[in-house]
Structures are given as structure tokens and as C-alpha cells.
Amino acid sequence: MIWSIKGKKILAATHNQGKLEEISALLYPLGVTVVSAKDLDLPEPDETEDTFLGNARIKAHSGAKASGLPSLSDDSGIEIDALDGAPGVYTADWAETPSGRDFEMAMTKAHGLLEEKNAPFPRTGRFCCTLVIAWPSGKDVFF
């Protein structure tokens, strides 16, 4: 059955400690043990898709194939309506600096672009998050 998590162990396909802690806390009441891609020294696959679902699938399937465990991944970002949905899947890229991610810098960039466009108020947008669970068999489900 696609929904089973055999052995009650799942891979969080992330190297982000914060995400690992959040996923672990959510699954703990269900008796599920969570290990991360970082714990298993798995590489981070390139996110080459232009949708949250596509990138989450890449990470989940890569993790499931490499670990032999069901693998949970996410892709998320902010979509700003007046910027035609940008930064979208590139939210983290907008925050990239030589010394790590700076999301305040990314939001300053977004604000500057909104001002350049003289975007009308209210300036709307949304935070989007797509989750994918993939099994080593190649099956997946997404939320």
C-alpha cells in the first residue's frame, strides 16, 4: 500500500536542521523515526524544475532511491502577484549570498521591484509549500 511507512522510519530529504526538527516534531506523535539526507551523507540534488511540485519530487525521489526509505521533501517560496508570481521557486536564490541566505535582503529586493513597478495597493502574495512523499518503488503522493 502506498501510504505505509514500513519500519516506521522516513527520510526527510533535507540538509536543513530546522526543517528536520519541524518534520520530526510533526511525526513523533505517530511513532515515526525521521532521519535526514544530511545524517546519511546524501547529496543535495539540483532543483531544475520551475514548479514547487517538480522540485519537491526531485528531492523526494532522489532521497528514496539513495536511502531505500520513504522520503519526504518540500519546496516552498513566496509568490507576489504584482511580480507575476516571482520570486516563486527562486525565493531562496534571491536570498543567496556568499556567506549564506539573507531573506531580509530578498524581501528588500522584492519591495524595490514593487516600488519600481509602482505596484498598486494592496500588494498581495502568498507563501506556497508543496510536500512530496516518494517510496523507493517510484510511487509518490503530493500535498
pLDDT, tens only, 30-39: 889 999 999 9
Q: Which three cell numbers, joined as nine digits, stand for 19?
A: 526543517
114 HSE (CA, 13 A, CB side):
20
Tens of pLDDT, residue by residue over 27-85, are: 888 889 999 999 999 999 999 999 999 999 999 999 999 999 999 999 999 999 999 99
Sort residue 66 into left (φ over 0), alpha (ψ -120 to 50) or beta. Answer: alpha
Catalytic residue among 75, 93, 102, 140: 75
Q: Is residue 75 flagged as an active site residue? A: yes
Q: Could you tell me the residue ranges of all domains in the chain?
A: 6-142
pTM of the full structure: 0.86
Beta bridge partner(s), residue 9: 33
SS3 88: helix
User: Which class is domain 6-142?
Assistant: alpha beta
Q: What is the pLDDT of residues 98-131, one digit of tens each?
A: 998 898 999 999 999 999 999 999 999 999 999 9
